[in-house]
Amino acid sequence: MSGTANDKEVILPDYESMETRSFILNAWYAPEPTREAFLKYKECGFNYIFLIGNNVGTAGSPRIEQALTICDELGLKAFVDITRALNMIDIVIDGYLKHPSFVGFNYDEPVIYKNSINNADGIVDIGPVVKKMHDNYPTVEFLVNLNPTTSLGFPWGTPPFDYDEYIQAQEEYVNSVFADSDIDNWLSCDDYPLYYDPSSKTTYYLKTTWLQNLEYLAKAKRDSDVKIVTNFFIQAMSYGANNAKRDRVPSYEDIRLQLYTLLAFGYDSASYFCYATPPIGEEFNESQYALIDRDGNGTEVYESGKRVNAEIRKLEKVYMQFNSRWLGVCPIYGTNNTDKDSEYFNKTMESMFGPLTLARLSGIKNVTSDEDLIIGHMKDGEGNSGYMFVNYNETTLKKQVNAKVLFNGFTKADVYRNGEKTTVALSGGELTVHLDTGEGVFVIPHG
């Protein structure tokens, strides 16, 4: 029974007993290839890993082999970084395929054409290599991680292009290779929303175009003729040795804001940047650290990530029944906020280019809220609607969301908070949704 006004009771499927894939939790920059270090990684809630960084070396390194052997033992799945080393595929692939943990290769941040400044491969160069690989090794995946929208103005040494053309190139040259395959066909990007600027009137704030970037990939997946698996990187450390605006250690609230927002956009996978802390250099200074510090010890970001990942693991069985039928995201502006005051107007929600309106949220008559939130709308295989409500406000403002949702013809709602289900009776179809800082809850109306 579809999630609309009903003359018949809606009885939900038993989602917990249904077969579904796991949500992918991954991280960039691997720890030392020891069983202890990788077990700690797995205990944080991750099920995939990118084998990249000085701890494991590059494709062909003995330490990559060590890491794959440990992943085999622990049941982790692994991508091996092949950025700017496409020639290594033929050299290493047969050996890597002996490892059950080996999923495929990843290539980081190419643009469409070959960069005439540093000769880096473009998507048009990667495509033929991926096709050859797929023809010979049809079980091996290839994840291209794209640049964000705000990077297109950089001096790439190529003809100019817009983001629609960028996505189209990825689909034409890479995704089309896997169009008839059963393996995952990836669409991935990295962009980070957390800013800190002590010289600004608003010291802490969210990147204006972040939701827009999430929306680009989510819509490409929704509208594709082939099955796409979406991934997005989240900010899990301070970075930018020469850019103080990025020198902000993500809190538990920051981590969950990012992850629940990805769920609102129907994503299949989230990747942390970073897990282990990269060396001091051009991009990172001595005081900046990730989930694991440079001595191999867990940080407070590790504990925050572990806590949020556990919430996602509790929810995934239900969420993954819905996210492949994602319809869009509806922004709701809080009554406490006004465009007359730049301190409170949420410009990042305004940047979305194709948001849902309230009228497009089937099953909902109206939503009012005191603070800003976003609502991701998706449906299960039987047409029942699910809604991901996210408190989308700068976390340091400590805003609490109190929203009233008026459903159309439903008498109950299953509310998943921290991954735990509570069934709530709806009086007159109304549900009160309270969201703590950075929190997300998944709601399925029925009855």
Sign of CA dihedral 224, 389, 253, 211: positive
Closest CA to 93 of 138, 42, 144: 138
Residues of the chain falling short of pLDDT 70: 1-8, 338-344
Non-local (6+) Cβ contacts of 200 within 8 A are none
Six-digit token pair at 259? 């992850």
Strands 186-190, 269-273: pairing is unpaired
Amino acid at 96: Y
The pLDDT of residue 346: 83
The pLDDT of residue 215: 98
pLDDT in tens, 153-185: 888 999 999 999 999 999 999 999 999 999 999
Phi-psi region for residue 132, left (φ > 0), alpha (ψ -120 to 50) or beta? alpha
d(CA 362, CA 256): 27
Q: CB 8: neighbour CB atoms within 10 A?
A: 7
Contact 254, 235 (CB under 8 A): yes
Sign of CA dihedral 211, 309, 243, 157: negative
The pLDDT of residue 2: 40
d(CA 272, CA 256): 12
d(CA 403, CA 389): 10
The pLDDT of residue 241: 76
Non-local (6+) Cβ contacts of 118 within 8 A are 157
Closest CA to 271 of 23, 5, 18, 441: 23
d(CA 264, CA 390): 7
**What is the model's pTM?**
0.96
Closest CA to 347 of 329, 333, 327: 333
Contact 6, 409 (CB under 8 A): yes
Amino acid at 9: E
Non-local (6+) Cβ contacts of 87 within 8 A are none
The pLDDT of residue 3: 42
Amino acid at 413: A
